[in-house]
Structure 1
Amino acid sequence: MNLRNVSLSFFIATLLFVTSVVTIGAVVFSYENKQFRSYVEGLSKVKQQVILLGLLTESQLDQHQNSSAESIESQTSLSFRDAIYSLDSSKKLNYVEAVARKVFHEAEQYLSNVYKDTASVLYFRSYTGNKLIVERPVEGLENNKSAFDLEVCKENISCAKEAWKGQLTDRVLFSKPFKSSSTGEYALSVMSPVYHHGELVGEFSTQMHLTALYQEGKAVKSIINNGNKQLIIYFPGYPWTHFSYTQSYMADNNNLVVYQYPFSKLLVDYSYLYVIFFIVAFAYFSKAHESNQNKMQLANALTDVTKDELTGLYNRRLFKDNTFKNRLAEASYSVMAIDGNRIKKINDCFGHHVGDDAIAIIAESMKKVFRNSDYLVRTGGDEFLAILPSCSESQASVLAKKLQGVVKDNRLKALDIEISVCTGLATSEEHEVLEDVIIRADEELYEMKKRRD
């Protein structure tokens, strides 16, 4: 596994993941903000409804205070099927309960949407007769004493009677989240007290079931912070919850509803994207690396075709290379024909392996003298060419003498044989082809060898 590809893949995957999470987060937080506004709107409506029912009941209690419970019941037109649950076996209503039931039914024409919400239950709790008047029959409430247990009310703050001083000044009370004894579902109660002659006689309450919220993976908890109660809607099971997108709503004078969406939820829920990005990036870089390797191998193969195996210099195939041809077409150049002296005699006397060593010495000397941009060619046996782009004949002449000196200094040490070369120079003329320049260089080389001999 290529470490560079892995590192690049991690970097690209991280970059794409962060970008994706930021983009997704913007969409998610916009949606969650709408969700929270929906929760707030629902709580506000419920709060207004129970307060309104409480005030209407107080007004009716004062208005009909000279009437009996029987008289009030006879005036009550039942507009829906309600249910009455009592701590004892008697379901006979007292005056307060009769008035509350009358208000319950009369308000239906104004608050009909309240009675149609299956996710909540609206009821009147009587403290004068230990009864519950519920908007509809609820399975599990019959003979359920825990529904009237003030200790349960106190624990969950689900009864106005157990509220401490100051909690009811704004006529509304929010309970802790609790498990309903009748349905077994998690719920939250919103209550408004009913007073008569300065005494708490009952309360209207809406028990809101939180099942849908829990099904969305959320939960509700209650904490006390600086003396105030906070109802926190949150996503359980995620780390670093103190780093959260947060919204809040002041539900009453003592309750702050806080909505938390932890940033870690985005990282955890969409972590699979990181894996996908990494796999795709790694596959891409691996394929690119493989492609580059293939190109390099092809380039090396092509280079090997144009290189002489013994010396590492170019061979005659170089002359067919388009890059080489284009380079020579750009400007004038000089050609130096080089020929090793008495190499055949060395072969005959000492063997071809010694002759090869002599040829290698000439090639190494050429590499030392000429530029990296020059083309050094072994044309065969002990014959060489140095093709020197943008090099004048005078400069080439200096290089020829330098080459002869370097070759001479590099003797065959094992046998103490001196190696030498002859050179011939020619500089290209306008519109002259390479073959003609080489011929002229060879002719000068031939003349030099004649003078040496």
Structure 2
Amino acid sequence: MGHSALNWLLLRRSLALATLLFVIFLLILLPFKIDREHQSFVSFVKTKQITPSYIELLGKSLSLHDIIDFNKSSLAPFQLDPTRLMLPQGVELSAEEAQVLRYFDYLYSSKKTNAEDIFLYVGLYRSDAVYFATPIPEDVKARLINDRTSTNEFCQSLHYCAKDATPESLADGIVLSIPYQDEVTGKVILSMASPITSSSDPNHFIGDVIADTAFMTSGFMRNKHVEWQNTDYGTELVITTDSLWAELTPEFLFYSMTNHLDNMTSLTYKISIFRFIVWNLPLWFLLSIVIFFVQININRLRKLRTERQRFSEAMLLDAFTRTYNKKVYETTLFDVATKGHYAVICVDGDKIKTINDTYGHKLGDMAIMQIVDAMRGVFRENDLLIRTGGDEFVVILANCTFERALVLAEHLRQAVAERQFLNVLTVSCGAADSQDYANFEAVLQAADKALYEDKKNKQGSRKLEATR
């Protein structure tokens, strides 16, 4: 395989593995991300749900104004504060409206109920007056008077006036506006209103107690976008990370969680899974690069290991016969072969010198290869065939008895003789096993002695035949 083709294969493998690891990472991390966002959303909703409960309580309390004794010592100090009253020119408050506002001051200042981070005021329908819970600067009041000529028109445009609300919307005693941008502060506001009626005539709407909450100022809403839409069940406010990701994310890659602000208004938080994936894509690129270079290094190490193994094997092999040389005695192969019971056969070619002298060294080398081929046919593949000299060999047979070694030695003699190479080639063999000897050197020495006896017997036999 070419270098460029190999790199391309490694790159594809790296991308595939990086993608798998990236998906596993997302599957592990995404539930934690969703759980954290869910906890933040629940905490945000809880803070927003405090205000409707407080406003509803104020509205119900103010509706009891007509049965309150305003001459009591506890209520007498609460007179209308002109700095907090925004009244159209030429219009005066009715006695009932004045009572409502005095009672509002009493309830708000008593701290019997409390809500934080809201802008609280009362809007009255007959006089079109607005009465704030806290003093406001004159310039702000002038601007409000100029921009908001009619409180009724303003609340009607945002659909939170109790007198114009449907019975279904008023069922829980609270009406929510749609989010809008305040003209004074420039903040996105969500207004909540609770009707002020008469205890004797609940259908007689005097006004609303209203709370404005800065919808986007909490830590949860930082860098988020809110939209609203009308549904069959009321108004749904949808919070997303930002409008761009909301447009880019397919619907199936949103994780949505919903809660209710009142009976007609639901708040849905949509988490863009697509945004989470894209934001973590640098990790995928990093994984791909790291895995690619790791694979390149692993591939180089494998090539180096293979080359070293080939070099080591070449150092252990006899260049001519491709059997092992004496260096094999220093390797693990030798240690494994001689660990348990084993046998050793010493092999020596007969008449090799005669063949070299008579036919030349080329045929002498061929005679040695005949012996090697015969040994490979007789012995097992895992037996160690070691060339120790020109025509001398040692065979180490792991897990082999002495009797079996004698049989194999005889098979080798027959195999070489049957080849009838130049009608003179034979081998002599000597065998021994490790049962009666303490170490390999002793076993080898015993096998070599047996080889000498085999050669001696053959020479004696040839002399006897010559005398005859």
Return the alpha-carbon distance in structure 1 between the equivalents of residues 149 and 417 of structure 2: 115
Unaligned runs of 5+ in 2: 1-6, 464-468
Offset of residue 297 of structure 1: 4.2
Match of 2:448 in 1: 439
Q: Which amino acid aligns with 1:399?
A: L
The two structures have a TM-score, normalised by structure 1, of 0.76
Distance 2:339 2:305 in 1: 27
SS in 2 for 1:252: coil
1:370 to 375, 379, 393: 379
- 1:341/1:419 contact within 8 Å kept: yes
Q: How far is the alpha carbon of 1:45 from its aligned partner?
A: 1.8
Q: Which of 222, 227, 235 matches 1:229?
A: 235
Note the alpha carbon deviations across 1:254-287, whole angstroms, 9 max, x for none.
Answer: 2333344455555445555555556666666665
Aligned partners of 1:112, 1:348: CA distance in 2, in Å? 128
Instruction: Assess if the C-alpha contact under 8 Å between 1:124 and 1:132 holds in 2.
Output: yes
Aligned position for 1:56: 61
Matched residues in 1 for 2:313 and 2:222: separation?
66
The equivalent of 1:395 in structure 2 is 404
Alignment of 1:107 with 2:107, yes or no, is yes
Q: Secondary structure at the match of 2:172?
A: coil
TM-aligned CA deviation for residue 154 of structure 1: 5.2
5+ long unaligned stretches in structure 1: 66-71
Aligned to 2:4: none
CA deviation profile, 1:307-362 (whole Å, cap 9, x unmatched): 1122221001122335514532421313141426547745874664x654554454
**162, 177, 180: which one aligns with 2:179:** 177
What is the match of residue 130 of structure 2? Answer: 132
Summarize the Cα distance change of 1:167–1:144 in structure 2 as closer, same or farther, 3 Å threshold. Answer: same
Query: Match of 1:303?
Result: 313
Q: Distance in 1 between matches of 2:378 and 2:407?
A: 10
Q: Distance in 2 between matches of 1:76 and 1:411?
A: 137
Assess, with a 3 A threshold, how the Cα gap between structure 1 residues 147 and 401 changes in structure 2: closer, same or farther: farther
- 3-state SS of the aligned residue for 2:53? helix
Displacement of 1:129 in angstroms is 2.7
* Count of matched residue positions in the alignment of Structure 1 and Structure 2: 436
CA contact (8 A) 1:17 1:274 kept: no
Following superposition of structure 1 onto structure 2, how do residues 159-308 of structure 1 map, counting pairs within 5 Å?
159-196=161-198, 197=201, 198-213=203-218, 215-236=221-242, 237=245, 239=249, 242=252, 247-261=257-271, 263-264=273-274, 266-274=276-284, 291=301, 294-308=304-318
Q: Distance in 2 between matches of 1:434 and 1:231?
A: 93
Does the 8 Å CA contact 1:222/1:232 hold for their aligned counterparts? yes
Q: Give the CA deviation at 1:46.
A: 0.6
Give the TM-score of the pair, scaled to structure 2: 0.74
In structure 1, distance between residues paired with 2:370 and 2:333: 28
Moved more, 167-176 or 122-131: 122-131
Is 1:422–2:427 an aligned residue pair?
A: yes
- Which sits farther off after the overlay, 403-412 or 224-233? 403-412
Q: Helix, strand or coil for the counterpart of 2:338?
A: helix
User: Is the CA contact (8 Å cut-off) linking 1:5 and 1:286 kept in structure 2?
Assistant: no
Describe the superposition over 1:213-249 as per-residue Cα deviations: whole angstroms up to 9, x where unpaired. Answer: 5753433333444434333344442635556665443
Q: Shift of residue 113 of structure 1?
A: 8.2
The residue identity in structure 2 corresponding to 1:107 is L
Deviation sequence 1:356-389 (CA, Å, 0-9, x none): 4554454344333321220001223233222222
Q: 1:439 to 1:181 in 2, by over 3 A?
A: same
State the Cα deviation string for residues 71-122 of structure 1 (Å, max 9, x = none).
x9995165xx964445x556854545534432332223234885752xx322
